[in-house]
Structure 1
Amino acid sequence: MKLDLTSIPRVRGISKETFLREYFIPQQPVVIEDLSEDWGATRKWDLEYFRQKAGNLIVPLYDGKPAKGNQKSHAPAQRVKMTDYIDILKSEPTDLRMFFFNLLQNCPELVKDFKYPDLGVKFFKRLPVLFVGGQGGKVVMHYDMDLADNFHFNFAGEKKVILYPPDQTKYLYKVPYSIVSMEIIDMSAPDFNKYPALAKAKGFETSLKHGDTLFIPSKWWHYITYESPCLSLTLRSLPRSPGKILEVLRSLIITRNYDNFMRQIKGQKWIDYKNKRAIEKTHKIAGIE
């Protein structure tokens, strides 16, 4: 048994009007193969370039281990110099990742290497963020809490991406009070005996190589596997509708704080309870005994 996945369409030379009409407004993913072809980043960005430009920066690294007990769910596993992290990436497979690293704040010199595409979209220009991962690294299935429309530009390396639209949430074992699926589930090789609802979910997949840009619509679930060390940039367009803005505020102010509070007072029992509820709710909705 395999996941029900359709290839994400790939385009070149897309106009602003076509992008808005066929992908942005209907909220459908697409890979644009030439969107960054005239960027300095496309020519220059690789691990050695970042060693040269930002090697002495201390960067937070995250691993694939689920938080346990009273641990914070988004705490870094360690902090090291960028140059030491690059050495790790080049020497061995690793699940250590740089996550949501603010380039404007930490490496303003590198901002000149890219530009915001003219696609009829209003970008949030204060938050260009870098993602770096090692061969074998995996990013748990999740959607972004700020409900942004994301433009994910891949430079060094190759990664596989699985996407699911919001209407497939009912099959994805969403953990209560969170924006993630159960962290124990390996979406690259799921156990359908334990998680049979995944077989009902209809999603999309693609492989991103050097120069590819993936448009990930707002609230779409994404799961990423690093096939080799990768370096990517995400530019974001934040929600503007009152309904989505209210949902973001509720998640940031109420849901996340409540979850962290319960982690502190109940520890692992709270995490186990949420995972149990994720299975029970998903199986009930999917009609699985």
Structure 2
Amino acid sequence: MILSQVDTVEDISKEVFQKKYFIPQKPVLIKGYAKKWKDFDKWNLDYIYDQVGEQEVGLYDNKPADPNKATDEPVTKMRFRDYIKLIKSQPSDYRIFFYIITDHLPELLKNFTYPDLGFKYFKRIPTLFFGGSEARVLMHYDVDLGDLLHFQFEGRKRVLLFAPDQSAFLYKVPLSVHTVYNIDYETPDYSQFPALQYAQGYEIFMEHGDALFMPSGYWHFNRYLEAGFSVTLRSFPSGPGRLLKMLKEVFVIRYTDKLMRKILKKKWVDRKQRKAYENSEQALNNYLKKKNI
């Protein structure tokens, strides 16, 4: 992988953000951006622990999804407070995925403000994500194709970002929003995944209060380096073209994949994995031929 440093700023105006990042769809890291919030001191695991009561949450781990089950089915469930105790006291790869604040913890909606950066937020689903110090999230892009403003809290996190035009080098799985399961993005094996070494992206290390702008359709891999959590604010898809693409992703590709997975189970998953290899090998051959390598 060819990884560059993302643009990093301490603060940013709406005008600069729109001109340099939103319109050209370029990522940017805004250091300590959440510190502007009046209730910034509440964005920690202890405060969440005090607020969740007796809620139970579904947990995911680093293992590939079971081909005989739905991809969004959790591997286990646990009391939210017990989960927070666990990740604070010991290494764990358990994580909480897509916890919608509006539905489960609306009190938190009072503790942040939507940054005035010039795009329209989808205020129905501000979303929390949690992870232990061993947790990682498979390389993927968000199916709704919204622009994302992603805030990190408590522990540090490593993020890899790739633009949509790098899909061919990432071993994208057909009819899916993720890459093949067996790529180790911490120590990539280029002998097994030769196309990956030509993928051009960004490496970002996020800390407490940082915000990362991830443009629509960007691939992202998250690795929790310490126990922590994040909140993602997303925009509506901008423009009719992106909206149509989003509807296709959600209602055609996603449900076709779910149906085939239910019918064929592991055979379908294996078939898509093989196709991902074939597509990336072809892309690599075309790239090397074009560059006369």
TM-score (norm 2): 0.95
- 1:1-289 maps to which residues of 2 (within 5 A)? 3-287=1-285
Q: 1:157 Cα shift? A: 0.7
- 2:26 is paired with a residue whose SS is coil
* Code of the aligned partner of 2:91: P
1:150-182 per-position Cα deviation (integer Å, ceiling 9, x unaligned): 000111110000000011111000001101001
- 2:3 is paired with a residue whose SS is strand
Q: 1:41 Cα shift? A: 4.8
1:46-99 per-position Cα deviation (integer Å, ceiling 9, x unaligned): 111111111421112112221233211111112211111012102221111111
* Code of the aligned partner of 1:195: F
Q: How many residues align?
A: 287
User: For structure 2, which runs of at least 5 residues remain unmatched after alignment?
Assistant: 289-293
* Code of the aligned partner of 1:226: Y
Q: 1:240 Cα shift? A: 2.5
- 2:181 is paired with a residue whose SS is coil
Q: 1:144 Cα shift? A: 0.3
* Code of the aligned partner of 1:14: I
* Code of the aligned partner of 1:181: T
Q: 1:40 Cα shift? A: 4.3
Q: Percent identity?
A: 43
CA distance in 2, matches of 1:283, 1:241: 33
- 2:68 is paired with a residue whose SS is coil
The Cα RMSD (Å) is: 1.3
Asked whether the 8 Å contact 1:68–1:271 carries over to 2, the reply is no
TM-score (norm 1): 0.96
Structure 1 segments, 4+ long, off by >3 Å, are none
Please, which moves more after superposition, 158-167 or 58-67? 58-67
Please, which moves more after superposition, 37-46 or 120-129? 37-46
2:291 matched residue in structure 1? none
Cα pair distance change 1:55/1:7, threshold 3 Å: farther
CA distance in 2, matches of 1:252, 1:40: 36
